[in-house]
Amino acid sequence: MKKFLTIAAVAVFILTLAAATYAVDFKASGFIRVRPTVALNTNGAHLATNAAFDKSAAYVDERFRLQMQLVANEDLYGVIYIEGDSSQWGEVAGGRNAIGSWGSDRPGIEAKQFYIDFNVPGIKDTVPTNLRVGMQWFAIRSHVFMGIDAPGIRLRTDVGPVRVYLNWLKAAEGNTWQSHDETDLYAARVVLNLPDFPVKPGMFVAYWNGNDYPLVAGTQNQRADFYWVGVNADGKVGPASFQADFVYVSGDVDRTSAGLQDREYAGWVFYADANLPVAMMTVGGTFMYATGDDVTDATAAAGDLEHDGYVVPPATEGNPNNMSQVFWQGATNDGIWIARGGNTAGMARTSGTQVMPRYWGGLWTIKGYASIKPLDWLKVSGYAMYIGDTTSDGNTVGNAVTAAGLPEDDDYIGIEVGAIADMKVYKELTYSVGVGYLFAGDAMDSYTGVGTVNDTADDPWAILTQLIYKF
């Protein structure tokens, strides 16, 4: 930590000199947060073979983010964005996401983003066009599709009431003198913004051109092509605000190695959220349905393996239920969803190298929520959410088996209820407490690894607290 503070001080000093020399405005923003958590049967502990099965866990994690912006003028600026994490205080081995060790002096600072953002000169009054070049955050309907830090170029332009985004992301380069081992994602998005019209419809298309799949250096034994098409609308109808999305994915993986079956993918997700003010409160509801695999088709002994579940690009982030305290365990923690059990056809629920169901595939949810701000410094929110399973011939998060040793097929994952209190200590400092409880269903049961014996975990719960300073 001392080394980091020294480096940061030197960086700020140099940037200050640069700002003075070249008349660049220096801006800094970010946050520091500390988050104690106590939980039972989350992070995979609901599985009977997990060492933490039915044992409560307690830990503290911490994160900082610092975004430095160098602004030359209204048409040009650059960004350097860094991050440091401790997944739990008291880590022994330092490194990425593990700087919370005794002594704290660990090489775990991450460069999240560094890019140049500028308006194209000469046409900004006729066809305003902006380019962002470098390592940056690409967000395309991230609550249902993709949000990721990645190298690439984003072009944004306005043509009348239509805003157009064109994106190129480089996922893997391979050998620089070859083109058949590269992987790229290309995406185009349009948003219609009509004056005096309260709804903004939009759509996007994305193409994953995977010459090197999975994203592991030197493989080049699988060829992957994936296509996503999404339509969406955001806006207001009277006092109600809403958001709606539908995304369809189709793809195939040509596995050239001997003995490997090709894979075919076709799935979709629908998402809708609406809320409106009622007296002193805001009330709303969220619905999400994402297709799941048919485990029989996805594990067939011969022929192509067919995946009917909705999938997204590798390593993508985002969350359709950021109020959940247990199943999704907040917007950034890994709740139950990450431990997908053993019945979803050998495809990891989260992956940095292959397409994945992530927060969506194999699940459907319906949630009601409300919030109220009785005092200037206090906001209280509550929710209740039903979580269902859309995987066929198997379960999405549990891996229980029948008496014949085949995967069980259940529909009911559980009902989660919870509440969150956000308290302003200062304008920039907030302390939050969240509690959640999941009444688990049969689709959460798991295989013990002995014969055909299953076990049922105690109902999962979590208490999450957070102290965050935003600047």
What is the per-residue pLDDT across 455-465, written as a single tens digit (0 to 9) for each?
Answer: 998 999 989 89
Side-chain-side CA neighbours of residue 233 (13 Å): 12
Are 409 and 394 in contact by the 8 Å Cβ rule? The answer is yes
Picking from 96-105, 253-262, 280-289, 324-333, which range would have the lowest pLDDT averaged per residue? 324-333
Q: What is the pLDDT of residue 431?
A: 95
How would residue 332 be classed by pLDDT, with cut points 50, 70 and 90? very low
pLDDT of the residue at 348? 54
Q: Are 135 and 154 in contact (CB under 8 A)?
A: no
Q: Do the strands 263-278 and 305-307 form a parallel or antiparallel pair, or are they unpaired?
A: parallel
Query: What mean pLDDT is predicted for residues 339-358?
Result: 59
Q: Which helix (H) or strand (E) holds 430?
A: strand 429-440
Please say whether the beta carbons of 170 and 198 come within 8 A.
Answer: no
Determine the pLDDT at residue 170: 95
C-alpha–C-alpha distance, residues 115 and 264, integer Å: 36
Average pLDDT, the chain: 86
Q: How confident is the model at residue 334 (pLDDT cuts 50, 70, 90)?
A: very low
Stretch 215-242: mean pLDDT? 87
Cβ-contact 268, 249 below 8 angstroms: yes
Sketch out the chain's domains with CATH numbers: 2-470 (2.40.160.100)
* Amino acid sitting at position 303: G
In percent, the amount of the chain with pLDDT more than 70 equals 88
407 compared with 6, residue with greater pLDDT = 407
Which of the residue ranges 53-57, 204-208, 257-261, 406-410 would you say has the lowest mean pLDDT?
257-261
Q: Which residues lie below 8 Å from residue 375, measured CB to CB, with a gap of 6+? A: none
β-pair partners for 272: 244, 287
Residue range 235-251, pLDDT digits in tens? 999 999 999 999 999 99
> Residue 169: its pLDDT value, please?
97
pLDDT per position as a tens digit, 105-156: 777 889 999 999 999 999 988 999 999 999 999 999 999 999 999 999 999 9
Mean pLDDT confidence for 211-232: 83
pLDDT digits (tens, 9 = 90+) for 78-114: 999 999 988 889 988 767 777 888 877 777 889 999 9
| Mean pLDDT of the 18-41 span | 83
Residue 426 banded pLDDT, cuts 50, 70, 90? very high
- Are 78 and 116 in contact by the 8 Å Cβ rule? The answer is yes
Higher confidence at residue 213 or residue 334?
Answer: 213
Q: Does residue 449 surpass a pLDDT of 60? A: yes
